[in-house]
Amino acid sequence: MKRPNWQISFRNLPTIPNSKRWIKGESETLEQRISKKLVLDENISSSERKVMQDLIMFYGVLYKSLQQLEFQTFTQKDFKNFTNYIFYAFNYVPLLANKLTIYQIYRVVINENIIGSKKSLNKKRFLAYPPLHIVKRINRYNRANSINNTVFYGAETIDTALNEIKPKIGDVVSIGVWKPNVEREFNSYPISHSQKAFGINEKSTNATKALSEYWKNHDSLLNDFMEPYFHVLGHEYSKPIKHNYEYLISSMFSDRIFDNEKRENTSFDFECIIYPSVGNKFKTSNVAIRKDILRHDFDLTKVIEFEVTECNYDKNQTNNPEAITLVEYKNLKETTEIVENDIVWK
């Protein structure tokens, strides 16, 4: 197996313990070996139990240290070394599947950011996902994709989508309403262990509770071990961002979650990732959908356009997914006439 230039240390982050380092001549670590035993309800030795207890401490320290890391001070060399450290710290992803029903989902874009002007959008692709070559050219990480991948970002409500991009007064925005073309459940990876979202976001809270119930059927050490691991993950998907590099961990996980080559046609062939909306203070959720799933399983059914005249992003949202309460607007128009790849305005 060809491995990256792993870094066992970086700045003030905790040193990668021996139990997380690759076993010589093998393609797994001691941590992975022991955690598999716990998942399969196999007995582990006292020394193996001590290894897992030490790892619980490692993840706890890492969780606190990452929150204090000053990403804005990174040089290109720092970024490369941090990448090789964090890939080692999280050298595997626990697989959790959740069936998600999507009735419709909303994507909001600022027209000028898409086509360079305030003119109406006339192509369906402008409300889908950006082409991969543009993602690579822009060279910026996002919450659920790295510079090597592109996904569709949608929100549960229009207000949630508005709160994510926060258009300014004078911006012309377009809202794409996407619906599944077949009624079915989607195989999702739930990001639930956000301490800020628990008790606020219904889906996140329910997923966390369901996982807690699942752990009760296993050795309590497995729950104690996975809890800080998922807290790190939950924090990375729900933290406010000051610098683009801060998306590295969540984007890295997302790429791995969507890398379905070995999991294709299994219960862990993930089609989307659901995570609490930072812009909406975690009350609702966003969904990142694989591009092939959007292309084959969703239809753009309506497009709404308006110009923003006033912004009220601190205002409480309603439960109506199509309500527009966070901005005042003028020149609203909408169309349901989408012919193949064209958006037709009358």
Q: What pLDDT digit, counting tens, does each position of 222-274 carry?
A: 888 888 778 888 888 888 888 888 898 899 889 988 986 777 777 788 999 99
Tokens of 220: 């309590």
Q: What are phi and psi of 244, to 5 degrees?
A: -55, -35
What amino acid is encoded at 207 in this protein?
A: A
The mean pLDDT value of the chain amounts to 89
CA distance 20 to 112: 47
Contacts (Cβ under 8 Å, ≥6 apart) of 122: 342, 343, 345
pLDDT at 41 over 50: yes
Q: What is the pTM of this model?
A: 0.88
Burial of 55 (0-12, 13-18, 19+ CB in 10 A): buried
Q: Tokens 């402008």, residue? A: 126
Share of the chain above pLDDT 90, in %: 56
Compute the chain's Rg from CA coordinates: 22
pLDDT in tens, 304-321: 999 999 999 988 877 789
